[in-house]
Amino acid sequence: MASDAVLTVTEMRAAEAAAVSQGTSEWELMQRAGEGAADYVWRIAAGRGVTVLCGPGNNGGDGYVIAEVLRARGLDVAVVAPVEPGTETATTARKNHQGAVQTSVAGLAKPVMVDCLFGYGLSRPLEGAFNQVFAEATASHPYRIAVDVPSGVASDSGELLGEVPRCDLTLALGAWKQAHFLMPSLAVMGEKRLVPIGLDLPEDSARLAPLPALSPPAANSHKYTRGLLAIVAGAMPGAAMLAAQAALRSGAGYVKLMSEHSHPDAPAELVIEGGDLAKSLDDERIAALLIGPGLGRDNGARDRLCAVFDTRVPCVLDADALHLLDPDLLEGCDAARLLVTPHEGELAKLCEAFGIEEEGKLDRARALHESTGLAVLAKGPDTILMAAEGLRFFPRGSSWLSVAGTGDVLAGIAAARLAAHGDPALAAEEAVHLQHEAAAIAGPGLTAGQLAHAVQPAMERFL
């Protein structure tokens, strides 16, 4: 059992079917899920009343188990089920529940509501009595808990299949689902907790990106063995400077900014190098490159990007470089050494350039990687990584990151980590976690400059 696995609907059904084929009954799995979820509800309710909404499927069956556990512990529990159970296991759960069941929420306004109307696998909006019960219950119960996923959420895409009010807590049963880490569903889930039920989960499934496992430099390290990072600036030097500020604090041994501009406010430890770019790049000590922030999109910018590709050094491509990248530029390159870090608009531009017609962040990132071999870090309120190692999801970062320049900071962190070890996917994973930690340190109202300076104390948290 792997607590970091993130499953599709098909994978989850297969994992449950495998458990049943190996001798664990569906009823036993439901009891494990319901009892585990009930423990969370019990602690949150703290003696207060609870209303449990039960649908006709096995998610509703989980609700009956939850209600019976709470009732047996002496809690005031009301169960609302618009229709009778429609599966054998849910029917067993209903019969096992010793309390009353009503068909509407009329007169109910308890402190806590538990949503077990529909779990993973839903493909259409709530209708009729289900929609009415859900709307009335969410309006009359101040604290709301969703079991598995909130009713009205598409588990694989994170799409909202109608109006889905925000809940305070989501309890994932058995394994994480993709919707737990994708927008827009991520925004309505509140806190999230995993309830294991003893499934053997597939080793080749998507995963949560692991936390960084950083280590101090070796005793015999020097600036070049720790990694020389070269950042190629362009028309607008401020963005490249932000990236450099972050890179200086992210573990690279040496950061050099290749720029034709004057930088009077540059920190003393940042080396500024002008002149012929090709000559500057002809340095075998360079371990990684970053190009894109503030680069521009004219022919001169394209020439600078071509010069970077000619080095065949591991590279992070961000911002303007993503608007210039196309099949002609990528031809002959070792895409496995490249990391692209697009936001939603840049991802759409890349897909247009490479003839990719998929819709949605997840499908676009997967198709772009499969078409090009690039490691794709699709960033935003929900961030995913698609690389040769597979699909990786990340917990949601601070919403205060929604300010200009934070993408440049992320690119600088990723490039510094790439210089340190040369692995694009690992650099992406480390960069996202470091940025999230830095945002927590910088606090509300952060600026990109404050975020860049907070990367160094963020590094300490992962040593």
Is 298 marked as binding a ligand?
Answer: no
Is 204 marked as binding a ligand?
Answer: no
Is 224 marked as binding a ligand?
Answer: no
Is 122 marked as binding a ligand?
Answer: yes
- Alpha-carbon dihedral angle through residues 48, 53, 57, 62, given to the nearest 10 degrees: 0
Backbone angles phi, psi at 433, to 5 degrees: -65, -40
Is 61 marked as binding a ligand?
Answer: yes
Is 251 marked as binding a ligand?
Answer: no
Query: What are 309's two structure tokens?
Result: 């590709």
Is 295 marked as binding a ligand?
Answer: no
Assess contact for 93 and 62: CB atoms under 8 A. Answer: yes
Residue 360 DSSP code? S
Backbone angles phi, psi at 100, to 5 degrees: -75, 160
Q: Which long-range contacts (CB under 8 A, 24 or more apart) does 39-47 make?
A: 40/145, 40/169, 40/171, 40/193, 40/195, 41/66, 41/70, 41/112, 41/114, 41/145, 42/69, 42/70, 42/73, 42/75, 44/112, 44/143, 44/145, 44/169, 45/70, 45/75, 45/111, 45/112, 47/75
Is 193 marked as binding a ligand?
Answer: no
Residue 181 DSSP code? G
Is 140 marked as binding a ligand?
Answer: no
Is 119 marked as binding a ligand?
Answer: yes
Is 265 marked as binding a ligand?
Answer: no
Give the amino acid at 1: M
Is 103 marked as binding a ligand?
Answer: no
E-strand stretches of 50-148:
50-54, 77-80, 101-102, 112-116, 143-147
Q: Give the dihedral sign, CA 339/341/347/353.
A: negative
Is 445 marked as binding a ligand?
Answer: no
E-strand stretches of 15-76:
50-54
Is 327 marked as binding a ligand?
Answer: no
Is 303 marked as binding a ligand?
Answer: no
Is 121 marked as binding a ligand?
Answer: yes
Is 60 marked as binding a ligand?
Answer: yes
CA-closest candidate to residue 320, choices 340, 336, 334:
340
Is 115 marked as binding a ligand?
Answer: yes
Is 360 marked as binding a ligand?
Answer: no
Is 379 marked as binding a ligand?
Answer: yes
Is 62 marked as binding a ligand?
Answer: yes
Is 381 marked as binding a ligand?
Answer: yes
The number of C-alpha atoms within 13 Å of 381 and in the hemisphere containing its C-beta is: 12
Is 125 marked as binding a ligand?
Answer: yes
The number of C-alpha atoms within 13 Å of 234 and in the hemisphere containing its C-beta is: 24
Residues flagged as binding site: 58-62, 115, 119-125, 148, 151, 239, 294, 343, 379-383, 407-408
Residues flagged as binding site for AMP: 379-383, 407
Residues flagged as binding site for K(+): 59, 115, 151
Residues flagged as binding site for (6S)-NADPHX: 58-62, 119-125, 148, 239, 294, 343, 408
